[in-house]
Structures are given as structure tokens and as C-alpha cells.
Structure 1
């Protein structure tokens, strides 16, 4: 079958959070063909290029979702939108279209500004406005500059001042209105793409969004325009990430409130319309349920990780440094290395020979460098009589190191350097470093955040976040009990191999794809839709035994052209691309067409 893979700031670009997972999915399911529909997040991301794509990727269509100050050049797919506020809707819209545009924007913006007591009504207005704008964009070749015109600004101003609006947005000023209009255009930019035709998303059998939010928006339109099933996979929660990033934004409080409600309404619509949702863990699943996802549509599928690279460490009996604690990750405030250093000071009082090795690099930007410098200074203050040279390991109680040097050439060696792996985060989604430690057969001490408890499942010690004393006590307990460390490490590796491998992830999506398309409606060509595939719906392009080893015995196999087309049906729907006749037409197809081929 043909899968339309929808990404936002990830695959096929060389940078992005979903890059590795999507690449493994595409390469691990060779029986399917993938079309990529990718939104890029920055000019720098596009300059770094794409990863090398396998042959089963049929085509790639990309479009930018950048801030307005950046160059909006792109590689095809989006109809360009300028960075200025237009004075009007322009000559491209007649009076009727201007009326449609005004009505749809008024409904959408009114829903975003609505108070908490009008949630259900606002959701209905939001969907009416969203799909109304999508249909207008399709009919008139995109929204062009319309979303950033003076008419939109006036609509936002009126909605913010209307009775019953949220208190925070009621006091929005003109600069706030302008800032929100700019952000609204960026969020809704996928509506103006030229992906929504029979040669684009209308040609795929299934849309698979690699995240919610903007990535799933083209999938919503493909489902509305063509009836294509929509599968949404979330390993994190885009809405949660938006909430966490809002306090650090330079935008004003009214704009942040408007954007938060806009993203909330979009997430609710994605969860409501998706055919199936596959959260990466229970932590994500709880967020999805909180925002309206039907439990019957939810199926947890853990992200697959490469266990082979950690096999030598996990299967070996050597514990590395049995008195050494290891921390691995990106150095940033959310990882709470400050609490870890204070906890390690307590560990040193109980176990004077203990060591702490911190492997990682600061996140990009001044914040990461500043936080790393602060952690180094704190380590020097807590251990004044002992050096903390970042390049030395020897007798230093705390070291800050990067992976890739002579001492620690790769990630597996970093996990092998200690007997206990520590995670001290205050904010965490799916803890990848924790799973990697489990693959290495290491006992772990973690804070109870995100999906940590679900991942560990009783094979490690879990303590409250921001509690250095509890963290220290758990570390000391494992450092003093090598047999317990060994038992927990072995159980952790067994659990990781059972739940978190690439193989289990691919097996899950292999079954999900077949199940979704098997339940999807099908159609054939009609006078109203002459581009539809000829002939009645048929189940598979290739019999299952064709995938078995050996050579198939000779036998008659009918081609698609040899099958007589069935009469058109007024209620018929889309035929999947894999629906090519095999050994004649199935009984169901003959019955639907009213006769035999």
C-alpha cells in the first residue's frame, strides 16, 4: 500500500526529533511505498539537507513553516506568503469569496477567544472556520496574503473585545493583535499547500502523521477531502511542549493565551478526527485523553530503539566502575544537574570513594552554556579540596565529559563506565537514556517524571524529583549492594529487549497499517470522478504467499487490466492503490459490481 508520511521539522531532513524513528519505519517495512510530506522548521534545517532515502520512498514534497523574519524560500509544495500585513484581501477574492473568508475567520478566531464556559460551542465554531478556510484555499489556490491582511487584524481585535472572552485576552493591544495574526498565519500555513489533489494526498491509502499539531493538519484535510484514514503517532505531546515553552517566550501574555487556546483546539480536532492514535507511552496517552481522544482509538506503541549497539555491554559481566555513578544526556535546566550534584555530596559522605561521571554537551544557545558553567562552578564549590578538571578522570569525584574521545569513544562505553546510571530530570517525556541504560544491563536510579515509572517497571529505583536526599539514599543503597545491582540490571535488560526494540515497533505498525486500510472504504471510477481507478475494489496487489521463501508454483494471475470494470455506485468511496486484481475478482467485489469478471 502507499503511505503518506507527514512530518513537522523532522524526516527527511538531517536534523529533527522524528528523523531516526521515521527512517527506521520506512526502511523496516519494505512491503509498502512511502510518500513524504514534510514541513521544515528553519532555513538552517533545509541547508543541512536530507538523509539518504531508501528506494521505497516514492516522492518527497516539502513546505516551510518558519517565522516571518526568515527567508520563505522552499523546495516546492507551498504557495508563498509574504511577511507584511496587507491592506486588504486583494483582487484575487471577489465579493462572495471575501464574505466566505470573513465568516470563516470570524468563527475560528471567535472560538480561540471564547471563555472557558463556552468550550463545546467554541470547538464547533473552530472546526467550521478551519475547514471553511481549507475549502476556500483549495478553491482559490491558497489563502495567499489573506490571513495576514487588515481584515483579519480587525476580526481579531473585535473578537478579543467581545463579551464573554477570556480575561487575559480582553486587554490585548494592537501590537498583540498583529503578533497573533502573524502566528495564526504560520500555524494555518499548511491549508495553502498544493498537496490536496488526486496526485498528492488523494493518491495515498493512509496518512501517518509522525506527530500531532501542524504535522497532522494535512492529514485532517486529506481525510475530509478524500476519505483517507489518518493515523497519528506521538512520542511526545506538542501541546505540552507549547505550554512549557510559553513562559520563556518574548510574546505578551494575551498572545500566549491566544496561541495556547489555538493549539488546544487544533489538538482536540486532530484527536477527534484521527482514525487511530498511537501514543508512545502512557504519559502521552493521559494528555491525549485529557484533550478529548477516545480511548477506543488509542493504542500504545513504544518507540523502537536499536538494542544491538548496546549488546556487548549488556551481555558482558564487567560492571565497569562499580562505585561510579553515570549521568548521560543534554545539559539543560530541565535535567536538574544541580540537584544531582547536591545529592552526590550526600553520597560522598556515605561512600567516600564514590565517583560521578557526567557525559553530555549543553543544548544549543546561551542558556545551555550558562547552565553548564553554573554546574561546573557548583561542583567546584561542593568539593573544594578536589580538582574538577573536565579532561581528567583519575581521582576527581565529579567529571564533565563528552562522548567521542579516547577514553569514551561511543555511547555504549559511557554506560559501561559505571555501575549505576542516574536520571535526575524534573521534566521528561520518554526517557531515552534510561532505556539505553537498561539495554546495557545497568541498575538505574531515576526521578518520577514523565514516563519513567512506566519504562522502569520495577527494574530500578524511582524517587521524587527535586529531592536530593532521596536521590542520594537510593544511589547509596545500590552502591552498597552489588548483588541487587546485578539483579536489577539483568531484569532491566530483559524488559527493554521485550518492549523497546525496533522489531516490536515495526511489528506493531505492520499490523496497524493492514488493519486500518482493511477497514477503509473503497471506490472505483464514476462519471463524477473519472480519475478514480478502473474496476471494482479488490483486496491485495500481491498474494501473501509471494513473500514466502522459494518460488511460487505457476498459475493464472489476472492483471488489473484484465478485470472487467464494475458499474459505478453512487455511494462508492476510494479504492486503495494496492487494490489490484489477483487471480480474478474476489466474491465480495463481484457481488458489489453485480456480476462476474
Structure 2
């Protein structure tokens, strides 16, 4: 089977879990051929180079969602504007009207106009070349402004100013760059048996076009909610309210169109599934598939925990935290919770293991947490009870050793998608205390304690229960490891997608050959199934001569 794998900001460039998940999936399905169509989010995304790909990855094609549009060089701007301006204006006006939602437009009408605009722009790109110049040009601004000034639009949009319109036009152009990619000709996406988008958003756009113009079925996998991520990113970037309103509706309408056209949507958890259903995904086209996570880096620690017959006595009961230093991880709440723990257990220690992450927001938040720890826990003769040890730094600890350092591992997030660090702690056989966010409950099951988010008191109380109840903590850790090995392995994930691929292709076959030959005669068996067999079939021997049952030497029986 030929699979077109569609990625954004991940495989085969990113070293994070998103890219690693794609790599494990491809390696687990070695009997299929993969073409990777990668969308790059930033220069940093590509700077480290590509990860080694297995032989079943035949090609990797990349387009950028950042910087100057690469596709603009494929067709001169003047040619595109002269030949396709009228068609572009019609399509972009439909798209802008859907985003603004003026008049008495209901959600179904907005979805229809969004789809008409989206596919209309794709047709313009296919016929006239890159849309980059037009999408950032004066025609786009006029269409956007007209849609925002139409009767019945939200008051927020009626007051939009030119600088905000420019921001919207520029960001929408970046989002729509896949429409101008050279991926839709002979031998490209239309020649695949199916498209598999590793996320929603821009990664799904090539799959939508392949479905629309070539009939190629589309599978969409989401382990985090792409719409929610976009909305949070807009707020964090400090965009103006009118800009956030238009871009938010763009992402919502794109998600609804993606779920509507996909042959199968595979959320990674019930948490993601609920979001997808609210955005229009149909239950009869959904299948929850937990991500496959490599357990081998944690096998040594997990086996050691399993082999321990009695809980180890520690002079200093230790709490461990592992993760990216992000405000959503709410390390501040953990530090305040540990302050309460120290009042009950003065010997307790907190070891924080931030995963090395690039970017000013991460560094700033980590510095803030270090300063708070210094205020809450002044260093005494034995030093501070709180330590920060960076994973991934030269000489720093490995992730498995970080989890092993804690008698209890805590996840303190105020917001979460699929809690990867929680699964890794389970692989290590560690007892866990987690906040009730995202997919935490369905991941942990009954093998750990769950408390409300943003509640340092509840977090402290649950952690104290496990620090003092070592036998209970050991039992929970052993059960957690068994659960993780049963549910979250790459083999289980690959088997689920193998079954999904076969089901989708069987229900949505892509026929690329004509049903009749040049003379009009039917051709029902253009590519017989046996032609795909790796071995030759032995010729069928001729049937042996048989004597009719009614014939006998003495004549027919009566």
C-alpha cells in the first residue's frame, strides 16, 4: 500500500515526541511504502537536519509555513494577478465571508462558504501558480474589510483597523501555503492509496485537496486538539481581539471541514475525541488509538522496580517532577504544594527535572520558578531541599534516572493534552499523583492518585499519602507499569493503524484505471490480485478424467 504521510512541524525534522511517533509508526508498518509531505513551521525546525528514515520512506517533500513563500518563485506575481484575479476574488470573498459570519449566516452556511472559498483558491493555485502574492495583496485586504463591514457582523469586527487586517491576511497566507504546493500532479498525492495526516490544521490541507480532486481517502490523527492549540497560541502572542476572532473561526471551520471529509478520525484519547465531536466529527467515523511510546529507555528502571520485593526505605522521601518548563505545567503550584509537604515531612526533597527546551518563554518561566524556590526554601546547612537538574544538558541525567529518583512522581499541570511524562513514569513503575486535566484520568486508570488542578493543598495531601504509604505506592507503581505496557506500546499502535488502513482502503478504493478499454469493452480485472503476490502461483493441473456416476459396465442403473 502507498501511504502519503502528512506532517506539520514534525517528522522527519523534529526530534520531539511528535516526530518520534511518526518514525515508530513508519518502522512498525515496513510492508507499506510511505511518501512524507512535511510542512516546516520555522527555520529552527529544519536547522538540525532530518532524522534517518527507514527504507520504506521513499521520498520526503518539504514546504515552509514561515518566511518568504517558496512557491512565489514558481509563477511571476504579475502573471498570477492578471490571469487568475477574478477567480481569486470570488474564492477569497467566500472565505472572508465565512470567517466574518455576517448577516444571518448559520453555521452550515458558513461551512459551505468556507469550503467553496478553500477549494476555489486551490483551483486558482493549480491553474495559475502560487497564491502568495494575491493572499497578501490589496485584493485580499479589500475582501477582508468588506466582509468585516457587512451587515450583521459582530461589533468586534466592524471596528477592525488596517494593521489588524494586514496581520490576518499575512497569517492566513501562511496557513494556506499548502494550496500552492506542487503535490497534486501525476504521481503525487493522487497516486497514493490513502493520505494520513499526523495532525489537524495545515497538515490536513493537502489531504483535503487530494480527497476533493483525486478521491484519495483521508485519515486524520490528533493526540492534541489542533484548534485549541491555535487559540492558545493566538492569546499567548498577544494578538488583537478582532484578529483572534477571525483566525479562531478559520481554525474552527478548517477543523469542521477536515472532520467532515475524513474517512476516519483517530483521536489519541477520549479528551481529544470530545473536542473533535464538538467541532463536527462523526462518531461512526472515529476510532480512538492511543499513541505508541517506546518503553525501552525505561525498561531498566521498570524492571528494577518490579524486582524489588519490598519498598525501599529512604532517608529523604523524594518527589520528582519531569517535563517541559511551560507555564501550563504549573510548577508554581507544585512548589507551593511542596512547601506544605515540608511542614509535615521536614526531610522531604523535591527534584525538578526540566527537559531542555529552546525559546525565551521556557527560559523565562524556569528562571521564575528557580527564584520562587529560592524564596520558599532558603538554603540551610544541607543546602536547599529543592533541586533543578536539566535533562538533555551535558552531563545531565537521563529521563529514566529522573523518574527513578522519586519515590512519587508528580504531574502538576493546569492544562494538558496527552500526558507523555505520565506514561513514562508508569513505564518506570512509579507511583504518581496527577492533576485532573486532559487525558490524565484515562491514561492513569486506577493506578495513581488524581487531584483537581490549581489546588496545591490537594496536591500536597495526595503526595503525602504515597510518601507515607510505601507499600501502597509500590503496588500502584507495579499496576501502572502493567497498564502502560498493555496500552501504550508502538506494536499496539501500529496494529491499530494497519487495521484502519485496510478498512479505509476497502471502503474507499481509489480507481485510477478506466473501466473500459479504447474500444469500449469492459476491463474488470486490470490489476488482478495475484499480480501483487511476491511468489509465483503454481499452475493448476488439468482435471483428471472422470467417469459419470450414472455410467457402469452393465448399463445405466434403474
- Note whether the superposition's TM-score is higher than 0.5: yes
Is residue 267 of structure 2 the alignment partner of residue 273 of structure 1? no
Q: In structure 2, how many angstroms separate the alpha carbons of the residues matched to 1:425 and 1:345?
A: 17
1:425 maps to what in 2?
Answer: 413
Q: Tell me the alpha carbon deviations over residues 137-176 of structure 1, each in whole angstroms, 9 at most, x when there is no partner.
A: 2122333522222111111111111111122211101111
Partner SS for 2:4: strand
- Cα contact 1:4–1:204 (8 A) shared by 2: yes
Q: Aligned partners of 1:541, 1:477: CA distance in 2, in Å?
A: 64
Answer yes or no: is the 8 Å Cα contact 2:291–2:488 preserved in 1: yes
The Cα shift of 1:16 comes to 5.3
Q: Deviations over 1:503-529 (max 9, x none)?
A: 111111111111111222343533999
1:408-419 matched pairs, under 5 angstroms:
409-419=397-407
CA distance in 1, matches of 2:443, 2:517: 49
Is structure 2 residue 526 aligned with structure 1 residue 536?
A: yes
392, 401, 409: which one pairs with 2:389?
A: 401
Query: Which stretch shows the higher mean deviation, 400-409 or 103-112?
Result: 400-409
Q: 1:465 aligns to what?
A: 453
Gap change, CA 1:150 and 1:534, over 3 Å in 2: farther
Equivalent residue for 1:20?
20
Deviates more, 1:151-160 or 1:318-327: 318-327
Q: What are structure 2's unaligned runs of at least 5 residues?
A: 541-558
Partner Cα separation in structure 1 for residue 356 and residue 197 of structure 2:
30
Alignment correspondent of 2:544: none
Taking the aligned partners of 2:23 and 2:299, their CA distance within structure 1 comes to 22
Q: Is residue 2:494 matched to residue 1:506?
A: yes
Equivalent residues in 2 for 1:557-568 (5 A)? none
- 2:194 is aligned to 206
Question: Which structure 1 residue ranges, 5 or more long, are not aligned?
Answer: 388-393, 547-551, 558-597
**1:495 aligns to what?**
483
Please state how far the C-alpha of 1:24 moved relative to its aligned partner: 0.9
Instruction: Report how far residue 538 of structure 1 moved.
Output: 3.7
Contact 1:408 1:414 (8 Å CA) reproduced: no
Mapped contact 2:80–2:130 kept (Cα < 8 A):
no
In the alignment, the residues of structure 1 paired with residue 240 and residue 517 of structure 2 have an alpha-carbon distance, to the nearest angstrom, of 49
Out of 555, 571, 580, which is 2:538 matched to? 555
Is the aligned partner of 1:114 residue 2:108? no
2:285 counterpart (275, 293, 297): 297
Map 1:148-547; keep pairs closer than 5 Å: 148-317=136-305, 318=308, 322=314, 323-361=317-355, 363-384=357-378, 386=380, 396-403=384-391, 409-523=397-511, 525-526=513-514, 536-539=526-529, 542-543=532-533
Tell me how far apart the structure 2 counterparts of residues 511 and 260 of structure 1 sit (CA, whole Å): 34
Check the 8 A contact 1:190/1:218 in 2, yes or no.
Answer: yes
SS in 2 for 1:466: coil
Given that residues 310 and 440 in structure 1 are in contact (C-alpha distance below 8 angstroms), is that contact kept between their aligned partners in structure 2?
A: yes
Count of residues paired in the alignment: 529
- Verify: 1:40 aligned to 2:37, yes or no: no
Q: Report if the CA contact (8 A) 1:153-1:177 is conserved.
A: yes
For residues 85 and 395 of structure 2, the distance between their equivalents in structure 1, rounded to whole angstroms, comes to 67
Contact 2:301 2:428 in 1 (8 A): yes
Q: 1: distance between equivalents of 2:396 and 2:129?
A: 55
Q: Is the 8 A contact 2:319 2:408 kept in 1?
A: yes
8 A contact 1:330–1:363 mirrored in 2: yes
Equivalent position SS for 1:478: helix
Q: 1:17 to 1:534 in 2, by over 3 A?
A: farther
Residues 71 and 226 of structure 1, relative CA distance in 2, 3 Å threshold: closer
Structure 2 counterpart SS, 1:36: strand
CA contact 2:404–2:428 (8 Å) conserved in 1: yes
Which piece of structure 1 moves more, 158-167 or 467-476? 158-167
Counterpart Cα distance in 2 of 1:130 and 1:276: 21
Could you tell me which residue of structure 2 aligns to residue 105 of structure 1? 92
1:90 positional shift: 3.4
Higher deviation after alignment, 413-422 or 396-405: 396-405
Larger radius of gyration, structure 1 or 2? Answer: 2
| Structure 1 residues 320 and 261: CA distance shift in structure 2, 3 A | farther
TM-aligned CA deviation for residue 100 of structure 1: 2.0
User: Structure 1 residues 9, 497: CA separation in 2 closer, same or farther (over 3 Å shift)?
Assistant: same
Q: Normalized per residue, which structure has more helix? A: 2
Describe the superposition over 1:91-120 as per-residue Cα deviations: whole angstroms up to 9, x where unpaired: 44557x433221111111000000596222
CA contact under 8 A between 2:299 and 2:427: conserved in structure 1?
yes
Query: Scaled by the length of structure 1, what TM-score is found?
Result: 0.83
